[in-house]
Structure 1
Amino acid sequence: MIDIAKIRREDIRWHLLQAINLSRPVGIYTEPLLVIVRSVYPDATHQEVRLNLDYLEERDMVRITKDAMDRWMVDLTRSGIDFVEYTIDAQPGVARPKITQV
Structure 2
Amino acid sequence: MEKQRREQLRWILLLALNHARPYGAVEVVLCGTAQGVYPDVTALEVRRELSYLEDRKLIEIERSPSGPWRAELERYGVDMVEYNIDCLPGIARPPKYW
**Aligned 1:38-53 pairs, distance under 5 A:** 38-53=35-50
Identity %: 44
Offset at 1:67?
A: 1.4
Offset at 1:70?
A: 1.8
- Runs of 5+ in structure 1 lacking a partner? none
Partner of 1:82: 79
Q: Supply the distance in 1 between the matched residues of 2:22 and 2:5 (Cα, whole angstroms).
A: 27
RMSD, aligned CA: 0.6
Partner of 1:29: 26
TM-score where L is the length of structure 1: 0.94
Q: Which runs of 4+ in 1 moved over 3 A?
A: none
Partner of 2:5: 8
SS in 1 for 2:80: helix
Q: Supply the distance in 2 between the matched residues of 1:6 and 1:61 (Cα, whole angstroms).
A: 19
- Decide which structure has the larger Cα Rg and report it: 1
TM-score where L is the length of structure 2: 0.97
- Runs of 5+ in structure 2 lacking a partner? none
Deviations 1:10-60 (A, max 9, x none): 000000000001001111000011111011101000000000000000000
Q: Supply the distance in 1 between the matched residues of 2:66 and 2:2 (Cα, whole angstroms).
A: 30
